[in-house]
C-alpha cells in the first residue's frame, strides 16, 4: 500500500473539515489556541524584548518557527476603519453569538506603555468581543473565563464606539487552519499601541498581522507641522520633520482622524 498517498488522503480530509468555519478540526485548534494564546504572547514578547532578539539568526528562527506558522495556519488579523467594523457586524447573521471579556493583551502584557506603568492608562479592559465559536470558547477558557459573558449586538457596537473615542483600533482576527480568512472570524480586539502584543511584535519586525483594506496617504502640501498626528500612530509610522511622511502603515486610520488640516487621507490599497 502506498502509505504516503494514504496519509495525504487522511490529512486532506482533516484540512477539509478544518477549513469550514464550523469544522471540527478548526474548532479543536481554535479552542487549544484560545487556551494557550496568553502564554504564547508572553513568551513571544519576553523573547523580543530580550537581548537574544538582537541577534539576526534568533529573530529569523523565531519568524520561521513561530511567527510565520501562527500567521499562516493559526491566528491573524487586520485593522478596520470605523465604517468597516460597523458594516462587518451588520453583515453577520441574526443568530450570531457575541461575547464580551477582558482584553487579553492589556490583562497580561506589560509592554512599554508609560501611561500604563504610571497607572494612567485611559483604556477600559472590557473590550474583547468574541464572535460565534470565539464567543463560545472564550467563555470557557482562562484567564478571563470568570468575566467573559454573552453580549448583545448593541452592547458590542457601544464598546467599539467607546474604543474609537479613546483611540483604540478595532482589529478583526480570524482563526484558520487551511488557509483563508473570511468566514473564520472569531474575535474583534480593540487594540492600543502600548500593550497590544501583535502591534508590539510588528514594531519589532515580526509581523503576525495583515494590512487593512486602506492605507494612509500623506498630502504634505496641507500639513502645518502641528504634530497632532504623531502620537496616534500605533506603529510610529508618521513623521513630519522636515515634511510629512508615512512609513510602515497597517491602515488603522487614527492619524487621519487626528489631523485637523486634512493632510492625511485614507485610501484603498
Ligand atoms: S500611518 Fe496612520 S493609518 Fe497608518 S498605521 Fe499609523 S496611524 Fe494607522
Ligand atoms: S496633524 Fe496633520 S497638520 Fe498636524 S503635523 Fe500631522 S499631518 Fe501635519
Which residue in this structure is represented by grid cell 494557550?
A: 36
Query: Would you place residue 71 in the very low, low, confident or very high pLDDT band (cuts 50, 70, 90)?
Result: confident
| CA–CA separation, 113 and 74 (whole Å) | 27
Kindly report, as residue ranges, where domains of CATH 3.30.70.20 are found in the chain.
214-268
117 or 255: whose pLDDT is higher?
255
User: What local confidence, expressed as pLDDT, does residue 227 receive?
Assistant: 92
- Say how many Å lie between the CA of residue 238 and the centre of ligand 2: 9
Is the pLDDT at 218 greater than 80, yes or no?
yes
Question: SS3 for 242?
Answer: coil
74 in Cβ contact with 33 (< 8 Å): yes
For domain 214-268, the question of CATH label 1.10.1670.10 is answered with no
User: What local confidence, expressed as pLDDT, does residue 14 receive?
Assistant: 56
- Mutate-to-test residue for ligand 2 from 231, 243, 257, 261, highest number of ligand atoms within 8 A of CB: 261
Query: Would you place residue 9 in the very low, low, confident or very high pLDDT band (cuts 50, 70, 90)?
Result: low
Question: Residue 94 burial (CB < 10 Å; 0-12/13-18/19+)?
Answer: exposed
Give nearest CA residue, ligand 1 atom 1. 249
Amino acid at each position: 500500500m502506498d502509505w504516503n498517498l494514504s496519509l495525504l488522503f487522511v490529512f486532506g480530509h482533516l484540512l477539509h473539515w478544518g477549513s469550514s468555519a464550523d469544522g471540527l478540526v478548526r474548532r479543536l485548534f481554535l479552542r487549544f489556541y484560545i487556551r494557550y494564546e496568553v502564554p504564547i504572547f508572553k513568551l513571544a514578547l519576553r523573547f523580543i524584548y530580550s537581548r537574544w532578539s538582537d541577534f539576526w539568526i534568533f529573530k529569523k528562527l523565531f519568524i520561521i518557527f513561530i511567527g510565520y506558522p501562527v500567521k499562516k495556519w493559526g491566528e491573524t488579523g487586520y485593522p478596520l476603519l470605523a465604517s468597516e467594523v460597523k458594516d462587518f457586524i451588520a453583515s453577520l447573521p441574526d443568530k450570531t453569538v457575541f461575547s464580551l471579556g477582558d482584553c487579553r493583551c492589556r490583562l497580561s502584557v506589560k509592554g512599554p506603555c508609560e501611561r500604563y506603568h504610571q497607572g494612567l492608562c485611559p483604556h477600559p479592559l472590557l473590550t474583547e468581543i468574541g464572535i460565534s465559536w470565539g464567543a463560545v470558547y472564550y467563555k470557557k477558557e482562562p484567564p478571563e473565563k470568570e468575566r467573559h459573558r454573552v453580549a448583545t449586538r448593541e452592547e458590542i457596537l457601544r464598546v467599539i464606539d467607546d474604543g474609537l473615542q479613546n483611540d483604540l483600533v478595532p482589529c478583526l482576527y480570524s482563526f484558520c487552519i487551511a488557509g483563508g480568512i473570511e468566514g473564520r472570524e472569531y474575535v474583534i480586539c480593540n487594540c492600543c499601541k502600548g500593550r497590544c502584543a501583535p502591534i508590539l511584535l510588528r514594531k519589532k519586525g515580526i509581523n503576525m498581522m495583515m494590512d487593512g483594506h486602506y492605507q494612509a496617504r500623506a498630502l504634505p502640501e496641507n500639513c502645518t507641522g502641528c504634530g497632532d498626528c504623531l502620537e496616534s500612530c500605533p506603529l510610529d509610522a508618521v513623521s513630519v520633520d522636515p515634511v510629512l511622511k508615512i512609513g510602515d502603515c497597517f491602515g488603522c486610520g487614527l492619524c487621519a482622524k487626528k489631523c485637523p488640516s486634512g493632510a492625511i487621507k485614507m485610501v484603498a490599497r
